[in-house]
Structure 1
Amino acid sequence: MTNDLPVRIVGERVVTKPGIGPVPTVWLPLHGQVIAELPPRKGNRRWLHETVGIRSPHFNGDQWTLPRSSLVRLITAAVDRYGFIVLWRDMSQLSQCTSNCLNATGIECQCSCLGAHHGQDAAGWFEVVGDVVVADLGECIRTGVVYGARGSDADAVVYDGELAGERYCVDRIGRQNWPAAAQFMCASCMTVRAAVWDHCHTHGFVRAPLCNRCNTRHWRGWRPQYGRAPHSRNLDDSYYRQCPKHTDTWRMCSA
């Protein structure tokens, strides 16, 4: 049921279940650059520059103006960082879905599926969560889609360094041989299936697959008084040692 989803769109509002932190939203207009609203957090500019690969992200008020070409990388990185992201997309015309839609590797869509099937047959790192929300704005159709980490039907197994020494990246070519994080148990709490790939922000190496709760446990918003459920008592941060530079005393590994 839709009400059971961790993140859903109700009207024009984004509603999250208890235990889910703030979710970023992105608007893809018909023309021009992408507009993104990220949950306030120290290091957002550095994250956009170093992780997403945007040379000069522009911040105005509470919004970031970003190149249209960075959208797929932004969504991939945001799913790893936040667990979910909401994309509002404007479309001017509708047409029937074709293989160009189903095999697409981008985000832009002008099909009658309203983006629900866009790229579903392509190897991606995120997938639609819930239903597509539609609003008729007269000159265009605006759709709202929640993206989350791509799941796995296989039984989750314990991570055994399958990506040891691999540099973290958010582009499709760089990740084409990566297994989905959901194929493994969370390397931190070992109680639930992982959802995203954690990486060392200092050295840039992939460390381990984590569930969303463990991945965001260091954030200010994770404590119960901010609406976030506490992490498992089984919390284990030994996965930090998966970074090849973990013993570097001059540049300590970061969360």
Structure 2
Amino acid sequence: MTADLPVRIVDGRVVTNPGIGPVAMLWLPLHGEVIAKIPPRKGNRGWLHETVGIRSPKLDDDRWKLPRSCLVRLVTAAIDRYGYIVLWRDMSKLSQCTRACLEATGVECQCSCLGAHHGQDAAGWFERVGDAVVAEQGEYTRTGVVYGPRGSDSNASVYDGELAGERYRVDPPGRRKWPTAARFMCASCMTAQASVWDHCHTHGFVRAPLCNRCNTRYWRGWRPQHGRATHGRNFDDSYYRWCPEHANQWRRCSA
């Protein structure tokens, strides 16, 4: 049922379950730039520039105006950062998947499916959560879709450095040979299946797969007003060691 989903759209509003926290919201109009409303954090501009690969992100009040070409990278990176994103998309009522779309192997897509109907390699890093919300807006149609990390049917195993030394990437070619995070148990709490790949923001290396709860542990603290429950006693940050520069950083700090 829809009420069981962690993030859902109800009467045009985004509703999240306790413990999920704020999620990113993106709007793709018929023409022009992507409009992104992301939870305010120190370092958002650096994240958009360094991680998503946007040369000059523009902030207008509380919304970022970003190039359309960054859409798939932005969705991938935002899911890793927040666990879920909501994408609002305006499209012409005449928009439909063409043969070129159905046979495509890349993820860049100008039609309404956002790559959902592409080849096996196209939709490997995120998937739709729940049903799409559709609203008629005169000459165009607006859809609202919640996206989350792609799951796995295999039994979750303990992470053993399968991506050790890998630079964190959000572009599809860079992730082509990566396993899904859901293949592993969360490297922090070890009680839940992982959903996203955590990375070291200082050095840019992949650290470990985490569940959404552990991934958002440090952003605003575990305060009830921010929708986060108290973390478990078995919270463990030893997965930081998977960044190859972690030990050197601590040696420099203690010198």
1:174 paired with 2:174, answer: yes
Name the counterpart of 1:27. 27
Q: Which amino acid aligns with 2:233?
A: R
Q: Which amino acid aligns with 1:55?
A: R
Contact kept, 8 Å, 2:101 with 2:117, in 1: the verdict is yes
Provide the C-alpha distance between the structure 1 equivalents of 2:211 and 2:135, rounded to a whole number of angstroms. 33
Q: Percent identity?
A: 72
Name the counterpart of 1:217. 217
Provide the C-alpha distance between the structure 2 equivalents of 1:25 and 1:6, rounded to a whole number of angstroms. 15
1:1-255 maps to which residues of 2 (within 5 A)? 1-94=1-94, 97=97, 100-102=100-102, 103=104, 105-110=107-112, 117-119=116-118, 121=120, 122-220=122-220, 222-249=222-249
User: Over residues 51-85 of structure 1, what are the superposed CA-to-partner deviations in whole Å (9 max), with x where a residue is unaligned?
Assistant: 00001000010100001100110000000000000
Instruction: Flag as ranges the 4+ runs of structure 1 deviating above 6 A.
Output: 250-253
User: Over residues 119-178 of structure 1, what are the superposed CA-to-partner deviations in whole Å (9 max), with x where a residue is unaligned?
Assistant: 474342111000000010001000000010010010000000000000001000000000
188-197 vs 212-221, greater mean Cα deviation? 212-221
Provide the C-alpha distance between the structure 2 equivalents of 1:252 and 1:8, rounded to a whole number of angstroms. 45
Post-superposition shift, 1:94?
A: 3.7
Provide the C-alpha distance between the structure 2 equivalents of 1:164 and 1:152, rounded to a whole number of angstroms. 21
Q: Which amino acid aligns with 1:35?
A: I
Q: Which amino acid aligns with 2:170?
A: V
Q: Compute the RMSD of aligned alpha carbons.
A: 2.1
For residues 47 and 116 of structure 1, do their structure 2 counterparts lie closer, same or farther at Cα, with a shift above 3 Å needed?
Answer: closer
Contact kept, 8 Å, 1:8 with 1:146, in 2: the verdict is yes
Post-superposition shift, 1:230?
A: 2.1
- TM-score, structure 1 normalization: 0.92
Provide the C-alpha distance between the structure 1 equivalents of 2:76 and 2:176, rounded to a whole number of angstroms. 13
Report the 3-state secondary structure (helix = DSSP H, G, I; strand = E; otherwise coil) of the residue aligned with 1:220. coil
For residues 177 and 12 of structure 1, do their structure 2 counterparts lie closer, same or farther at Cα, with a shift above 3 Å needed?
Answer: same
Report the 3-state secondary structure (helix = DSSP H, G, I; strand = E; otherwise coil) of the residue aligned with 1:179. coil
Post-superposition shift, 1:100?
A: 4.1
Provide the C-alpha distance between the structure 1 equivalents of 2:31 and 2:98, rounded to a whole number of angstroms. 23
Contact kept, 8 Å, 2:159 with 2:209, in 1: the verdict is yes
Contact kept, 8 Å, 2:97 with 2:111, in 1: the verdict is no
Report the 3-state secondary structure (helix = DSSP H, G, I; strand = E; otherwise coil) of the residue aligned with 1:249. helix
Provide the C-alpha distance between the structure 2 equivalents of 1:162 and 1:10, rounded to a whole number of angstroms. 39
Contact kept, 8 Å, 2:107 with 2:114, in 1: the verdict is no
Aligned length: 250
Contact kept, 8 Å, 2:45 with 2:57, in 1: the verdict is yes
Provide the C-alpha distance between the structure 2 equivalents of 1:250 and 1:189, rounded to a whole number of angstroms. 23
Q: What are the ranges of 5 or more consecutive residues in structure 2 without an aligned counterpart?
A: none
Provide the C-alpha distance between the structure 2 equivalents of 1:115 and 1:198, rounded to a whole number of angstroms. 25
